[in-house]
Amino acid sequence: MKQFIDFTDKVCLVTGAGSENGIGFKTAEILGLLGGRVIIVSTTERILERERELKKQGIRVKGKIADLMDRSQVKSLIQDIIAVYGKIDVLVNNAGMIQTGVAGEEEADIEDVTDESWDRDIERNLGITFNVTRAVIGHMKSAGYGRIVNTSSVTGPVVSNPGSASYSAAKAAIVGMSKSVAIEAGGYGVTINNVLPGWIQTASQLEAEYQGGLNTPMKRSGTAEEVASMIVFLCSEKASYITGQEFIVDGGNTIQEYKGAPEYYY
């Protein structure tokens, strides 16, 4: 019996795959183990370490260094991939939120958000997703096939936190952008969807976020593999009639009405 999900002969581009225990790297690993030819991207040379790790598993992979906020670098990256592989079947837009060597999201009430902080958060999250999607989708439409999956967040599209206006705005905007793209590209066999993680235990998880995971219905944070598994399904041929949608992976956290101390209710 043929395996349920198979990426043999599929060219898969995964951005934001530099962290060894991150969602992007785990997604690339699963895609590769299922037969895909994988191109992984991050801003630093650590992507070459990830390339070596995947090659040890027999995965056909190429690591690329690029700043995806720089549109000229995005253009060159996609041109290089098309020149070598002739196509891009799958795009996973995972880059955003945290960038090695660059300050992370600055938490501040809206009146105290600086222009620089706002612009950086929008460009790092929404901007990167737009840049890469725009560069890739024409090739997918011409080929008559494509899968795009964006790593958004529950923060923005579903819930938020104080001091997270720019991050929330960017992640919600990714979902809104995707709906328009889904309508434009659906007739060409191209789908685009969003995965919205909640509290996920990666290298960048803070103690407060870890504690948040303990208060979900599952009583723990999720893993990168659990998020990656949803992404991979949406990247597959089996997800052919799903587009413009959001899929929450948060252990049921956002379904909880009661937010107080568990001893008083749960």
The residues assigned a catalytic role are 167
Give the span between the Cα atoms of 116 and 259, in whole angstroms.
Answer: 33
| Vertex 172 angle, CA 169 and 177, to 5° | 115
Residue (of 228, 220, 205) closest to 251 by Cα position: 220
263 by DSSP, 3-state: which?
Answer: helix
Q: What is the DSSP letter of 188?
A: G
The answer to whether 227 and 16 have CB atoms below 8 angstroms apart is: no
Q: For residue 257, what are the CA distances in angstroms to 53, 181, 217, 266?
A: 42, 33, 11, 11
Residue matched to tokens 């598993």 = 57
